[in-house]
Amino acid sequence: VPVFLFVAAPYIRRYVAGGRCKSTARLDGKVVIITGANTGIGKETARDLAQRGKVIIACRDIAKGEAAAREIRAETGNQQVIVKKLDLADTKSIREFAEKFLAEEKELHILINNAGVMFCPYSKTADGFEMHLGVNHLGHFLLTFLLLERLKQSAPARIVNVSSLAHHGGRIRFHDLHGEKRYHRGLAYCHSKLANVLFTRELARRLQGKFQRQAEFTANALHPGSVYSELVRHSFVLTWLWKIFSFFLKTPYEGAQTSIYCAVAEELDSVTGQYFSDCQPAYVSPRGRDDETAKKLWSVSCELLGIQWD
């Protein structure tokens, strides 16, 4: 068995690594925002895109963000890697980030909603939203709303939402969105990832027909794969399992490939409202294809955030 594993190891790793983004597309003169890009797949996405154009790392921990930015600047030679404060668990912080960005930058071509929390003990955001729903869905929903006009003005533009295979286990529990009646940290994560898929679907539907060419504005979601990263830090069991089985998990670099693909691949110029995994279209759960739920979630999200988004 040890001999077999030694021989098979490279093939197993190649299979686990999954698809690679092969696009060499440049982003000269273009601006990219990546949320949560101070660590994990967000950082690796920033590292790749910084070789192509200007990248803004939007994260809660400025010190970690600056450390990541320094590393990426040194490696790529691109000084246009900028860190901005953004706490997705606080709508005030989201609004402040958007206000400053709009004042400083005249264009925005790619928005990658990457940041996320996973398996948190029950807690609420500054605005009283359950943490998974608040950060993973509502925070990005508000951020996208606030930046949408700048994206439209800069078209062709893309919105990339990092979801997960976990959306298959999710449900939108409108009667208990904030988990006050019943809470399970694993299911709460699944629910929020389903919300990412539904948001992407409804956003793409609403954007269709608004432009002369659909290639001018697209929105897609993706599953990065099972990645060895800090995302499981709230679960002792998963942290332990992740260490034991790290050989069978993607590295952050491998996990970032589909995000990069959705952001730059030329063949996706006119593809919108889709879900990808390993740099190719992937199966969406029936709940993730429910247009009525998507429309209702959109309406409820607007209501919770106190915005009008028609």
- Number of other residues whose CB lies within 10 A of the CB of residue 160: 27
Taking alpha carbons only, the member of 63, 79, 68 closest to residue 37 is 68
Amino acid at 303: E
Q: How far apart are the first and last CA of the chain?
A: 60
- Alpha-carbon dihedral of residues 231, 232, 235, 240, nearest 10 degrees? -150
Whether 228 is catalytic is no
Q: Which of 11, 122, 189, 275 is catalytic?
A: 189
Active-site amino acid positions: 189
